[in-house]
Amino acid sequence: MKNVYYVGSDELTFELIERIINENLKLELAPEAKERIQKCRDYLDKKTVESAEPLYGITTGFGSLCSKNISQDEVGILQENLIKSHACSVGEEIRPVIIKLMLLLKAHALSLGHSGVQVITVQRILDFFNNDVMPIVYDRGSLGASGDLAPLANLFLPLIGVGDVYYKGKKREAISVLDEFGWEPVKLMSKEGLALLNGTQFMSANGVFAILKAFRLSKKADLIAALSLEAFDGRIDPFMDCIQQIRPHKGQIETGENVRKLLEGSELIACPGKHVQDPYSFRCVPQVHGATKDAIRYVSSVLLTEINSVTDNPTIFPDEDRIISGGNFHGQPLAISYDFLGIALAELGNISERRIAQLIMGLRGLPEFLVANPGLNSGFMIPQYAAASMVSQNKMYCYAASSDSIVSSNGQEDHVSMGANAATKLFRIMDNLEHILAIELMNAAQGIDFRRPQKTSPILERFLCEYRKEVPFVKDDIVMYKEIHKTVAFLSRTKFDY
């Protein structure tokens, strides 16, 4: 069926995830996934009865309580208690799209058949996804080491009829929504609470959302930089392919190609250059924007591996007759990558703010602060302040979360990744970046209007035409924050096909 994706039928890709979310595809368990899940569950049931050895988290307590044995008739209670006691996420509610991504990624990980869950448990996760029953999860509380324990506990409380959900726009007790659908609370069996709570799905879901946005922001940054180059009467030479090829970083080559394509047919760029060279914020766009592209590409490869992995613990290998207590839940690969991505995205804002500053200095025939009558008018003086403030704030957010660790679980969990913190601060960096790029677009468009009647390239003229329908040329001082907000909204919904 066209509007259905069969979980466990293939590896997830970013393109597929975008389709699932944007086209509202329904999820079903692939037949082969059901077989894998059931095979692992059957093996675990048999092993639990036969094993004379304690099995971590299955017939023992958790963390530093791993030496406490649990009787067979209490293993289900153990798993329910785990979810209830671990539901400690706090802070701001996570947006619904992240919740849906968490449900999708957890269902996919469990479908790989190494977690020992029941088929009904995975099916109920899909039921929540398909019917927009959104468990309420908060953005703080995960150390990113035994997986995302606290947020995943909040996510899966409703499976056992506890906690709160949003359904049809209203906050409701989970049990009332289960009753409305005729769903019984899932009766957890051995190991299932661990399978649900151990894992990196909070980090991963935030990362997927961030990486998809990062791809778009990188493209927007190239387009806006090209507009600024035109407004500043800059040179095309640093974007020529020959100079990229003798230092052939993939992102650098791609950025040079993007800007050349964007400026093709421009009257402004075709004029003989009056200046020998441009400041670094213009001249080094291929190198700086390109390095960010390479970082995004690297982080996306790490994340793609992660979302197609088994990250709970212990891990069950029916064919090898092994149950291994390991560390696949540890978020270090993501934590380091997200810190790297945060730095890379912050640099797009850093160089953008410098182009903003160059455009308001009264250089190269442009009026000071980009208004015809500076003095009486402050023009674009203070938007640069706002951009500078956000650039500085992003530097603060670029502190490496992954360089920190706090001992937990009475010393048993003595090194943690802080990957969840690395993931959530990405959103603050990206929000600032969007606003910085919006301010640069305002400046660049204003600067190009001062170059009239000369025109930029056809593709950029079409873009500016659409932009000017919403944000006008500033002749005399107006309330600027409204124009910044309108520009952010314009950038957010406008597609960039070049």
Sign of the torsion angle spanned by Cα atoms 363, 364, 369, 373: positive
Residue with tokens 């390239």: 457
What DSSP string describes 40-64?
HHHHHHHHHHH--S--TTTTB-SGG
Contacts of 342 (CB under 8 A, 6+ apart): 394, 397, 398, 422, 425, 426, 429
Rg (the chain; Cα; Å):
26
CA distance 447 to 355: 12
Cα 145–149–153 angle (5° rounding)? 170
Residue 56 bears catalytic tag? yes
Query: Is the CB of residue 181 less than 8 Å from the CB of residue 449?
Result: no
Cα 205–206–208 angle (5° rounding)? 65
Among 120, 143, 121, 85, which residue's Cα sits nearest to residue 196? 121
Cα 284–343–92 angle (5° rounding)? 140
CA atoms within 13 A on the CB side of 435: 21
Q: Helix (H) and strand (E) counts for the chain?
A: 19, 9
Collapsing DSSP states into helix, strand and coil, what is residue 210? Answer: helix
Cα 340–236–270 angle (5° rounding)? 150
Query: Judging by beta carbons within 10 Å of its beta carbon (0-12, 13-18, 19+), is residue 89 exposed, middle or buried?
Result: buried
Could you give the C-alpha distances from 133 to 128, 181, 325, in angstroms and in order?
A: 5, 11, 33
Query: Is the CB of residue 258 less than 8 Å from the CB of residue 279?
Result: no
Catalytic residue among 5, 6, 43, 56: 56
CA distance 496 to 498: 6
First to last CA, the chain: 33
Which positions are annotated as active-site residues? 56
